[in-house]
Each structure stands twice: as C-alpha cells, then as structure tokens.
C-alpha cells in the first residue's frame, strides 16, 4: 500500500483519520489507556517533520449523532499535547467555516484535533455532502485507523472520493502487513486459536480459515457448542443449540482438509461466574448438571501449548475463558505467556485477546497486537474492508 513515504506533504493540509476511541478515567476524565494514541505517532511525526499541517479526526464513544459533552475529544487533545510537547487545539466541530479557518491558519508542522465525528449522524451514514465537507479540510487524506476501517463511514470511505491524494498511515500499513504474513502467506505450520463467547459470530471466520490452517484450537464458551455436538453434557454452560449442526459441519470440513482440531479435554466449572471460590477442574465428560464451564483446564492448556510448539505462525483471536473474572483467567494468561516466549510469528487479533495479553504483561513480547478486533475479524473472515477498498480506489485514480 502507498504510505506517507510516497507523498509530498510539505505545506499541505493532511487529514489523518485516527482511532482515538480511548477509555477515559471515570473519576477525572483523563485518558486511561493511550495505546491507540501511541500507535499513530509515527504517522503524525512524519507529517509534522515534513512540514505538513496535521488535521486529526476521530470518534469517541457512541453519541449516536448528537453532541454529548462527556464524549468530547478534549481530554485526548490535552493528552496528545503532553506527548508532543506542543499545543494541540481542539476545533469546536469537525466541519464548518470556523474549523476551516483554524485548519488554514495552522503553521507548517502544526497539529489540530477535530471534535468528535460522530456528533454528526451523517458520519455513520456515509453522507456524500458531509464527506465533501470533511474533504474541504484536506489536500491529502491518510487513513491510519485500521480499527474502524470495516465501517463505511464518511471519514473512512466517503471522503476519499473528494480528496486528490490518499495514502495509508504507517499503523494501517503495519496491520495489513501482519495480516498477510499471518493468514495470507504464512510460514507453516500455521495455527489459529479461536475463542470467545459465541460460535455464531465466528462461523464465517472458521469457514474461511479451516482450508488455510494446519492446526485449529477452539476455546472459550464457543467450544461448548462443539463439545455438545460431540455428545458431551455441558451442564449450565452457554451453548448455541441452533448451531450444533453447523459445528458438526465445521468439524467434518476440518477432517476433510486434514486440519488438526483441538477442543478442551478438561474444563473449569462453577455454579455461576460469581462463584469463583467453588471452581474446580473436571474432565469434559464429567461436567455437573448444576454447573457451567468458565475456563479450560491445565491438561487442555498443556495440549494446546504442545500443539503450538511445532508451529511457525500462530494467530490468536478470542480468550479461552472468562478471563476478566478470577479464577477463570488462568488458561488465557497461560496461553499469553506461552506466546510471549514463542519463537514463532505470534499475531494477536485485537479485541479481548489484545486486552488479555496486555493484562498478562505479554503485549510487548508477542510479534504483533492488532489495534482492531472487529476489523481483524472481518479480514479473517475473508471480507474486504471498506476503508482499505476506498484507499485503493483513491490511489488508483492518481
């Protein structure tokens, strides 16, 4: 993909779509986790150092097309100013004559942050007039917000039709690069660990991945549906009974493609998620009727790590258990620790998996942690992302 390295930005207004949808501290409103801000700094500094005028645009939260003061990007502007050591003004809006004047008045190397894009309903509707208004602030458009690039929104998709020069930011390019390394053209054997709550949300992913992988490991609550499909009793565990036939179909597909599939062999059960003190490990054939499965056991973890030890590429999307609630975090954290020490290419597919490796202290030890759970998942499903399609179309017209 064309990046900023291929674009002259000196003296130009560079509209950078970033993802500053960051958590804020409930007590003082400050940025609680700035990982997404840190991720775009290489792109931002490249524009600043090249004499461009950086116009940053993002959403925060879900204001649903209305101005919600608690979802203002003001805390982000202050936090970014602290990182850069220079003033980062927050525009009062993201469109309009006042905003255009502020952008035009920026000095070379200056930065401005536009107010929350989603204060306007036209953003999520991909409204052409709103897209054109955003484009009036730009000589160059840069998408460095992979996490929202599966959304056909005005600042991600529509704006590219009205800006003459488009490029991918460095973070966006890195996301695509690691996806290609891990899924499209991996070193083999390739293993994918799929977890999470519902198999229904991962059917497309599994159908697309099974013909591509060598080892498939299924965990999380979604594994319960596969276990029940195989005749195991799973007590009060979350199960999607309507998808049992699909689970059997997927297992048959894996068998036909000679894909090794690992399901839990032992599990951690409790009367409910709040009853951690009563948790115990049982064989999958011995789940009590009055208990539910909330994690996988140590024998499963051992089987998983042994299977992964022989793999050159490992992709992980979705936790193995209810890791937010002790003591059901053990398997997920054990997997994170293994991946952190692995010599394989280890790619974490964003979302809960990214949160898990961070909580386990392994986020800087794995090869790559995606910034976009939903976007990464859609790419795993084989879907094209509107944000990337729009970039490619814009690049093609230059």
Catalytic residues: 36, 198, 351, 374
Q: What is the DSSP string of 132-163?
A: HHHHTT-SEEEE--GGGTTS--TTTTGGGGS-
CB atoms within 10 A of CB 69: 7
Residue 272 has what DSSP assignment?
S
Long-range CB contacts (within 8 A, 24+) of 148-151: 148/17, 148/19, 148/21, 148/59, 148/372, 148/375, 148/387, 149/372, 149/375, 149/385, 149/386, 149/387, 149/388, 150/372, 150/374, 150/375, 150/378, 150/383, 150/385, 150/386, 150/387, 151/124, 151/386, 151/387
Determine if the peptide bond prior to 362 is cis (ω within 30°): no
Distance CA 382, CA 10 (A): 37
Distance CA 316, CA 322 (A): 16
């Amino acid at each position: 993909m064309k990046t900023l390295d291929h674009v002259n930005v000196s003296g130009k207004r560079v509209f950078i779509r970033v993802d500053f949808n960051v958590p804020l501290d409930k007590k003082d409103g400050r940025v609680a986790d700035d990982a997404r801000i840190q991720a775009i700094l290489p792109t931002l500094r490249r524009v600043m150092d090249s004499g461009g005028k950086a116009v940053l645009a993002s959403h925060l939260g879900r204001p649903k097309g209305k101005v919600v003061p608690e979802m203002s990007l003001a805390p982000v502007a202050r936090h970014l100013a602290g990182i850069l050591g220079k003033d980062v003004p927050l525009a009062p809006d993201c469109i309009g004559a006042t905003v255009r004047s502020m952008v035009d008045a920026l000095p070379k190397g200056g930065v401005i942050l536009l107010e929350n894009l989603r204060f306007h309903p036209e953003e999520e509707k991909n409204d052409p007039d709103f897209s054109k208004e955003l484009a009036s602030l730009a000589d160059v458009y840069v998408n460095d917000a992979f996490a929202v690039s599966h959304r056909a929104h005005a600042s991600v998709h529509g704006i590219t039709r009205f800006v003459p020069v488009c490029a991918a930011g460095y973070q966006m390019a890195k996301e695509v690069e690691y996806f290609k390394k891990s899924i499209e053209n991996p070193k083999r054997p390739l293993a994918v660990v799929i977890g999470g709550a519902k198999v229904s949300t991962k059917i497309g992913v599994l159908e697309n991945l099974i013909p591509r992988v060598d080892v498939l490991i299924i965990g999380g609550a979604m594994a319960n549906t596969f276990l029940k499909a195989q005749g195991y009793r799973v007590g009060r565990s979350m199960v999607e009974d309507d998808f049992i036939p699909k689970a059997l179909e997927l297992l048959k597909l894996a068998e036909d493609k000679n894909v090794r599939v690992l399901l839990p062999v032992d599990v951690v059960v409790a009367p409910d998620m709040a009853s951690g003190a009563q948790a115990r490990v049982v064989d999958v054939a011995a789940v009590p009727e009055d208990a539910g499965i909330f994690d996988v056991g140590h024998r499963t973890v051992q089987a998983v790590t042994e299977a992964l030890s022989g793999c050159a590429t490992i992709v992980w999307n979705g936790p193995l258990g209810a890791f937010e609630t002790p003591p059901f975090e053990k398997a997920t954290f054990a997997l994170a620790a293994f991946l952190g020490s692995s010599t394989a290419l280890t790619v974490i597919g964003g979302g809960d998996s990214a949160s898990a490796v961070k909580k386990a202290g392994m986020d800087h030890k794995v090869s790559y942690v995606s910034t976009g759970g939903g976007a990464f998942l859609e790419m795993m499903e084989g879907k094209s992302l509107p944000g990337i399609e729009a970039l490619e179309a814009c690049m093609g017209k230059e």
